[in-house]
Amino acid sequence: MPDFLWAAGSATGVGSLPGTDIAEAQRVVFGELPELPHLAELPARGPGADIIGRSAGFLVELPVQLYAGQWQIAPRPGRDQRRTADLLERDLDQLTEQGERYTGPLKVQSAGPWTLAASIDRPIGGRLLRDAGAVRDLTDSLAEGLKRHIDDVRKRLPRAEVLLQLDEPSLPAVLAGRVPTESGLSAHRAVPSPDAAKALRVVAEAVGVPVIAHCCAPDVPLQAFRDAGAAAVALDLSLVKDLDPLGEAIEAGLGLFAGAAPTTPPPSGRIDGKMVADRVATLWKRLAFPAAQLPRQVVITPACGLAGTSPAYARAALTACREAARRLAEV
């Protein structure tokens, strides 16, 4: 089994949390996820805190702006860019203040190049995805920007070991040619899996830290993530239908960030560590891997981001993930 940066029996969050108070959100993260905390994201703060605007803020020499509610490439940095940078700076200040004594793995997140290309418009209209050259420029810009971001985090928390999560919820649609054009009457070309993996690898090699490829959509492109050199894949267990590709990835040494805690309250209204642990253990048994391997190779997470739920449930879900990880480590 390969060595993983995280400790056995670890849990973490996907990224987003409810509310607008970054100080409180970061306190919750460090309190509930002591083995593998992450930089909290609060989309409720509005433009620039959303996954696309926040991630586009990492782009180098490729400014963006909001136009009619849609992010697009801008001729020069403007108000939207400044707002995005200000929100990130506040987040990093809280991370620095609350994590100054932290030693261990720490996760930061960004949308990946394909989700950005499928979501950001060119200045003349239409998604960047339609222009292969624009996608290459976007990928290179994102790679450089994320390298700078990670270097900044390392300077702020020199005893932390940084992990990067690349969020690619749009990648299955990109690969299948299901991203609609501006008119909605047709779709952009399907991108071959090797091309998708190549762009992801550009980012992974530039940042120089382990990359977790995250996709909480059906049809997770495990092969593309493996070909990109990802250290782990993060996915929603409830969407896994075909176990063979996942088993092959795990056997090849890929870490699994198992999205097992539901992002909305279950019918009972309560969530606990046993429920989450049982869900992961059942999948692991179906995959037929040794039980002792699970706590080293698997990190327990919510199924996806928690921005759409209540603060009380978000905290309960993170607590359940931590308790589940401990239960599984004690088996």
Instruction: Read off the DSSP letter of residue 234.
Output: E
Within a domain: 54:
yes
Beta-bridge partners for 105:
161
* CA R_g for the chain: 19
In this prediction, residue 318 carries a pLDDT of 98
Within a domain: 138:
yes
Give the chain's mean pLDDT: 95
Whether 322 and 33 have beta carbons less than 8 Å apart is answered as yes
In this prediction, residue 297 carries a pLDDT of 97
Q: Round to whole Å and give the CA distance between 73 and 67.
A: 10
Average pLDDT value for residue range 7-33:
97
177: left (phi over 0), alpha (psi -120 to 50) or beta: left
In this prediction, residue 250 carries a pLDDT of 96
In this prediction, residue 2 carries a pLDDT of 67
Average pLDDT value for residue range 265-276:
90
Please determine, for residue 184, whether its predicted confidence score (pLDDT) is greater than 90: no
The whole domain housing 185 covers 46-230
Give the three-class secondary structure for 176: helix
Within a domain: 297:
no
Amino acid at 199: A
Share of the chain above pLDDT 90, in %: 92
Average pLDDT value for residue range 51-57:
97
Within a domain: 55:
yes
Average pLDDT value for residue range 39-50:
97
Q: Round to whole Å and give the CA distance between 190 and 91.
A: 36
Give the three-class secondary structure for 299: strand
In this prediction, residue 9 carries a pLDDT of 96
Within a domain: 51:
yes
Average pLDDT value for residue range 302-307:
97
Confidence of residue 54 (pLDDT cuts 50, 70, 90): very high
**pLDDT tens per residue across span 126-173:** 899 999 999 999 999 999 999 999 999 999 999 999 999 999 999 999
Instruction: Read off the DSSP letter of residue 11.
Output: B
Within a domain: 8:
no
In this prediction, residue 1 carries a pLDDT of 57
Domain count, the chain: 1
Least confident of 11-15, 77-81, 180-184, 284-288: 180-184
Confidence of residue 218 (pLDDT cuts 50, 70, 90): confident
Average pLDDT value for residue range 227-245:
96
Q: How many CB atoms lie within 10 A of CB 78?
A: 13
In this prediction, residue 186 carries a pLDDT of 83
Average pLDDT value for residue range 61-75:
94
Within a domain: 148:
yes
Within a domain: 128:
yes
Q: State which H helix or E strand residue 111 sits in.
A: strand 104-111
| 256 Cβ neighbours under 8 A, 6+ residues apart | 232, 233, 234, 235, 246, 249, 250, 297, 298, 299
